[in-house]
Amino acid sequence: MDPAQPRQSRRGAERLGFLVAPAMLGAVGLASWIAIQGPRGVIWIIIGLAVSLPLLWIVTSTLWPAKANRRCPRCRGEELSRLDETTTIGLLCRACGYRDETASSWLLAEEEGALENILLEQRRRGAGKAPKQRIDMRQRSDMDSSVRAN
């Protein structure tokens, strides 16, 4: 186990520690409001959360989009790259040689700006599509008649 790992998780908890006091104050205020308003007030809280949480999620996702994680799961170095430059599948660590042929490298390709070219190439090749089989109409009528006979 990496000794730096617990230190990093503590640092993250310390960064969010300032939210404890406002959260407790909000909980006390909410409990007081529910005690004064009665059960009818709870309905408005539920409706408000049901409307505001999806909107908050959309705004958050728009303003802070996802970033590619370049940290290797084995050596914890920041040397993770795409395994193949022509696809969005597969990861390779340049520091320790870690390979994962099935992992998605979509965000890495998007950061590098190669995503559009990869998708256009796949579309041109027709990747992911099964080849269409043409059935001769005479064969089809023979198959239909054999199915009807059974």
Tens digits of residue pLDDT in 42-85? 788 888 889 999 999 999 888 887 778 888 888 888 888 888 88
User: Which is it for the CA torsion 55, 59, 60, 62, positive or negative?
Assistant: positive
Q: Phi first, then psi: give them for residue 80, nearest 5 degrees.
A: -75, 135
Q: Are 107 and 147 in contact (CB under 8 A)?
A: no
Mean pLDDT of all residues in 122-146: 56
Compute the half-sphere exposure of residue 70: CA atoms within 13 Å on the CB side of its CA. Answer: 14
Cβ–Cβ under 8 Å, residues 121 and 134: no
Q: What is the CA radius of gyration of the chain?
A: 28
Contacts of 73-77 with CB under 8 Å at 24 or more apart are 73/98, 74/98, 76/2, 76/4
The more confidently predicted of residues 74 and 143 is: 74
Helix 39-63 and helix 20-37: axis angle, to 10°?
150
Say if residue 130's pLDDT is above 50. no
Average pLDDT over residues 115-134: 68
Proportion of the chain above pLDDT 90, given as a percent: 11
Answer yes or no: is pLDDT of 136 > 80. no
Average pLDDT taken over every residue of the chain: 76
Question: pLDDT tens digit string along 101-117?
Answer: 888 888 888 888 777 88
For 139, the token pair is 């064969």
- Flag whether pLDDT at 139 surpasses 60: no
The span from the CA of 66 to the CA of 61, in Å, is 8
pLDDT at 16 over 60: yes
Would you state the pLDDT for residue 137? Answer: 47
